[in-house]
Structure 1
């Protein structure tokens, strides 16, 4: 049974005109449909938008395709429930929602068609530097040297930048005002993080970075 989440404000606004789209009129409210079918149609719209997008879609964008009184969060929950037995799922990441293959099927996909993204394979040192940037950002090369006890090569940083996992941050308050490094939205997507607050405890990261330095 799906939900019927029309707020009192939306009911008072049922007489509002429909929104105009680029090709005629786009009916957000679907007032001509019974409530159950209306909710189903909104779920379908949410799923279609997310299916068509390769990046997370935020709440404001999803709200444009459903009625003013419809809860995007409830629509997402109902869609997630219907997908519970599928090999993919609807997840919240980087400030929005997107479809992801469930982890237990990743190896099957690779075995069938070698679809693994090798561009996101990391050396131990790359992972250690990425970890240090994530926890200490914004941080410059001198700061990374303090963390690892040795210079971090420009080539390594260039590889992380090429993978779109790091970007230039604000200038550091050091002589010459060198550029700092920060993580990107692609970093959040890659590691299934909603925000940087979802990073593990810092002491674990320091241990991993130390181990990486010793084995590099």
Structure 2
């Protein structure tokens, strides 16, 4: 929204009653979340509601309002998004054309992604220690192309390599609010990583 458009945009809705104003702010937030392909931050949502209105409380009320609907408000990282409830996933897969939205990742891709998630920030050398071999740039590229990983901080030493971290897209893709929602390492037996991965901060 440009500065001129934002100046014309009525955030305060002073001509409405308090209850109608609150409901309209909720609908605006719902519309923004519906239109966005990625999580929307609190500061961005605050631009469509009146000054002094609590985005957090509006989100809570919207979540209650959406109870019984096939989608819900989900916090992902520092933002929010609308997400289809898990109970409706089979119906969507049965009818909708979602083939292009699949991750199309190999088992090795998923194993490396899990290692990054549990050990971030981690360098290519760190990944080599975990897997006992060099991880190809192509594999890292596939994960970065899908915005599942990004570049993390370098170690505070000259010539230190970049590290890798997961992104908000990673959280949204796997239905997590934060890295605290990662599964316990024991649940990763099928990926062959149990015992190698630790929860961040553990």
CA–CA distance in structure 2, aligned partners of residues 118 and 59 of structure 1: 26
1:122 to 82, 92, 105: 105
> What's the CA shift for 1:94?
2.1
CA–CA distance in structure 2, aligned partners of residues 31 and 173 of structure 1: 52
1:29 aligns with 2:12: yes
Asked if the contact 1:129–1:209 (Cα under 8 Å) also holds between the matched residues in 2, the reply is no
Q: Where do 5+ consecutive residues of structure 2 fail to align?
A: 197-202
Query: Structure 1 residues 33 and 133, CA, compared in 2 at 3 Å: closer, same or farther?
Result: same
CA–CA distance in structure 1, aligned partners of residues 33 and 91 of structure 2: 23
CA–CA distance in structure 1, aligned partners of residues 148 and 103 of structure 2: 9
Asked if the contact 1:119–1:163 (Cα under 8 Å) also holds between the matched residues in 2, the reply is no
> What's the CA shift for 1:21?
4.6
Deviates more, 1:123-132 or 1:113-122: 113-122
Q: What TM-score do you get using the length of structure 2 for normalisation? A: 0.80
Aligned position for 2:199 = none
Query: Structure 1 residues 206 and 31, CA, compared in 2 at 3 Å: closer, same or farther?
Result: same
SS in 1 for 2:48: coil
1:104 aligns with 2:84: no
1:199 to 179, 182, 185: 182
> What's the CA shift for 1:180?
2.7
SS in 2 for 1:120: coil
Aligned position for 2:51 = 68
Aligned position for 1:58 = 41
Q: CA RMSD in A?
A: 3.0
Q: What TM-score do you get using the length of structure 1 for normalisation? A: 0.75
Aligned position for 1:93 = 76
In the TM superposition, what whole-angstrom CA distance separates every residue of 1:110-147 from its partner, at most 9, and x where no partner exists?
21133144541332221111111112222222221211
Asked if the contact 2:40–2:79 (Cα under 8 Å) also holds between the matched residues in 1, the reply is yes
CA–CA distance in structure 2, aligned partners of residues 161 and 116 of structure 1: 20
Asked if the contact 2:74–2:177 (Cα under 8 Å) also holds between the matched residues in 1, the reply is no
Query: Structure 1 residues 161 and 118, CA, compared in 2 at 3 Å: closer, same or farther?
Result: same
> What's the CA shift for 1:167?
2.6
| Structure ID, larger Rg | 1
